[in-house]
């Protein structure tokens, strides 16, 4: 039987009850004012536990330092305060199931809704563990309140035990990760560390250093608009051409619903417009640069082919980069990954590295010169699309074993040879990434 560290459990439940959802449609930074409820609370609590250099930046990130007492590279810990915008996040009522008996989990606020270990093999392994879930009508927000709770619990423990050996540790709690706007261009320099970890992963033992490489594409179709009554031989309907583009693209392959593991995809996720003009929005994903470029080329080819069928229409296809696979940089120096793996083994866990079918704040940080793998928190089943027979959102349970608690050993044997990378080597891009993490069923990276 595995129970939670009481402090970790209390923190997670308290933070999860605070609505701090982000909003993609808002141009503000952070996107929603409610994220300040979490940011200001973190700022106050970090001060309260004795962290140094605590500040809330103008770009909405809380920074703090845990002073070191041993030489070694400064290490960063990051988690995000926002929760996914896809579901109701107001009125979250976390509840703890003690020593789960392995049967179907029901929800106090949603009679009829069940979470069955038959549907979730990872959950099935957790019989006897304590679990935390939402009450049935909201998300739990363990993504990433679990990461915040883990870092805060470890920080308090380290600050209360100043003799525990550690290098300097920098903490950052960022906003808007869920909408791909969590990494401000100033963040890598403000972190001032040699490498960092996001605590934003799932299954216990995961040490992730591969994410998708991601582009976004916008296709604009301009037709010829004319009164339908006088349209014969003159009208060119932009919606028909947009439909042809979608229809010509692969559907039985190269889509999110037909790919898994290390396969990439072309995903059309939005179509808006009229017979006069239509705009299609795509995301392109692949783990390799070549594969990503090929998907962009295919989309452009299809647009050109449809444009050739109707010279009076205008079709433009604009592709812009979002984020890149962090492996490109981390494989040159696996020190941060190796340290995390060693720390996991010391806790009796076998580290697993699965490629993330999405991106993290660490993808952008790594690209910007701050190496940043992603570590597990124990959260599961986050931001699941409502699609079950009962068509209700599935509350994300959190199967966080005791081993999910960060033991403050992570920095203990930091490799002294490690040199800090130059920050800002790659210019940050103004666009964010919209990253969703897929199930942890992908094969191991090579
Ligand atoms: Zn997250």
Residue-wise pLDDT for 104-120, tens only, equals: 999 999 998 888 899 88
Output the CA 198–ligand 1 centroid distance in Å: 9
What phi, psi does 399 have (nearest 5°)? Answer: -105, 85
Statement: residue 446 has pLDDT above 60: no
Averaged pLDDT for residues 251-278? 96
As a whole number of angstroms, the distance between CA 394 and CA 382 comes to: 9
Angle at 85 between CA 441 and CA 105, to 5 degrees: 55
- In terms of pLDDT, which residue wins out, 382 or 177? 177
Question: Ligand 1 is a single-atom ion; what residues have CB below 5 A from it?
Answer: 143-144, 200
Centre of ligand 1 to C-alpha 248, Å, is 34
Q: Which domains are present in the chain? A: 6-211+325-404 (3.40.630.10), 213-322 (3.30.70.360)
User: What is the pLDDT confidence band of residue 87, given thresholds at 50, 70 and 90?
Assistant: confident
Contacts of 119-127 with CB under 8 Å at 24 or more apart are 120/380, 120/381, 122/203, 122/380, 122/399, 122/440, 123/380, 123/381, 123/397, 123/399, 126/2, 126/100, 126/399, 126/401, 127/100, 127/101, 127/102
247, two tokens:
């229809």
């994220």: which residue's tokens?
A: 35
Helical (H) or strand (E) element with 144? helix 142-160
> What are the CA-CA distances from residue 175 to residues 10, 17, 113, 351, 380 (Å)?
22, 17, 31, 28, 21
Task: Decide if pLDDT at 85 tops 80.
Answer: yes
Question: Taking 60 as the threshold, does the pLDDT of residue 401 lie above it?
Answer: no
Q: Are 397 and 140 in contact (CB under 8 A)?
A: yes
State whether residue 422 is helix, strand or coil.
coil
Kindly tell me if the per-residue pLDDT of 256 is higher than 90. Answer: yes
* Higher-pLDDT residue of 3, 345: 345
Averaged over 10-22, what is the pLDDT?
A: 96
Mean pLDDT of all residues in 340-357: 92
Distance 209 CA to ligand 1 centre (A): 15
**Helices marked H in 289-445:** 289-308, 327-330, 335-346, 361-367
Give the Å distance between the CA of 178 and the centre of ligand 1.
6
Cα of first residue to Cα of last residue in the chain, in angstroms, is 34
Which region among 195-204, 279-288, 412-421 has the lowest average model confidence (pLDDT)?
412-421
Q: What is the 3-state secondary structure (H, E, C) of 386-400?
A: CCCCCCCCCCCCECC
> What average pLDDT does this structure show over 398-412?
34
What's the CA-to-centroid distance between 234 and ligand 1, angstroms?
50
The average pLDDT across 139-145 equals: 92
Task: Give the global pTM.
Answer: 0.82
Percentage, residues of the chain above pLDDT 90 = 73
Residues 216, 281: contact at Cβ < 8 Å?
Answer: yes
The token pair that represents 355 in the structure block: 């490629």
Name the least confident of 162-176, 184-198, 279-293, 382-396: 382-396
Instruction: Look at residue 418 and tell me whether its pLDDT is greater than 50.
Output: no
Q: Is 86 helix (H, G, I), strand (E, B) or coil?
A: coil
What's the rounded mean pLDDT across residues 44-72?
97
- Segment 370-380 shows an average pLDDT of 93
* Centroid of ligand 1 to alpha carbon of 353 (angstroms): 17
Ligand 1 centroid to Cα of residue 177, in Å, is 7
Active centre residues (catalytic): 82, 177
108/97 Cα distance (integer angstroms): 12
What pLDDT, in 10s, does the model give residues 311-342? 999 999 999 999 999 999 999 999 999 999 99
Q: What is the DSSP letter of 230?
A: G
């Amino acid at each position: 039987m595995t129970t939670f560290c009481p402090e970790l459990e209390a923190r997670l439940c308290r933070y999860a009850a605070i609505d701090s959802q982000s909003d993609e449609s808002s141009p503000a930074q952070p996107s929603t004012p409610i994220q300040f409820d979490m940011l200001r609370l973190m700022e106050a609590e970090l001060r309260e536990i004795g962290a140094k250099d605590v500040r809330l930046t103008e770009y909405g990130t809380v920074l703090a330092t845990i002073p070191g007492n041993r030489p070694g590279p400064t290490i960063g810990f990051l988690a995000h305060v926002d929760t996914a915008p896809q579901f109701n996040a107001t009125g979250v009522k976390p509840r703890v199931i003690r020593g789960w008996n392995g049967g179907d989990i029901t929800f106090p606020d949603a009679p009829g809704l069940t979470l069955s270990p038959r549907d979730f093999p990872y959950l099935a392994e957790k019989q006897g563990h304590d679990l935390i879930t939402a009450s049935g009508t909201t998300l739990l927000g363990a993504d990433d309140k679990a990461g915040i709770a883990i870092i805060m619990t470890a920080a308090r423990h380290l600050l209360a035990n100043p003799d525990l050996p550690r290098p300097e540790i920098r903490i950052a709690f960022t906003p808007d990760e869920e909408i791909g706007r969590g990494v401000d261009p100033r963040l890598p320099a403000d972190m001032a560390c040699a490498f960092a970890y996001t605590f934003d992963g799932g299954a216990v033992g995961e040490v992730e250093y591969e994410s998708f490489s991601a582009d976004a594409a916008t296709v604009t179709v301009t037709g010829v608009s004319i009164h339908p009554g006088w349209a014969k031989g003159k009208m060119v309907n932009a919606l028909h051409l947009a439909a042809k583009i979608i229809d010509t693209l692969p559907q039985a392959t190269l889509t999110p619903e037909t790919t898994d593991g290390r396969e990439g995809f072309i995903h059309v996720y939005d179509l808006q417009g009229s017979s006069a003009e239509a705009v299609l929005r795509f995301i392109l994903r692949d783990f390799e640069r070549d594969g990503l470029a090929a998907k962009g080329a295919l989309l452009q080819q299809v647009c050109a082919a449809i444009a050739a069928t109707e010279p009076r229409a205008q079709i433009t296809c604009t592709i812009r980069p979002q984020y890149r696979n962090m492996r490109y940089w981390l494989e040159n120096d696996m020190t941060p990954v190796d340290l995390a793996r060693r720390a996991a083994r010391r806790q009796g866990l076998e580290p697993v590295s699965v490629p993330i079918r999405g991106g993290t704040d660490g993808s952008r940080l790594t690209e910007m010169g701050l190496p940043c793998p992603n570590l597990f928190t124990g959260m599961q089943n986050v931001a699941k699309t409502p699609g079950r027979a009962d068509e209700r959102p599935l509350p994300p349970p959190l199967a966080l074993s005791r081993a999910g608690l960060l033991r403050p050993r992570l920095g203990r044997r930091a490799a002294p040879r490690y040199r800090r990378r130059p920050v800002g080597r790659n210019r940050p891009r103004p666009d964010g990434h919209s990253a969703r993490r897929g199930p942890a069923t992908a094969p191991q990276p090579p």
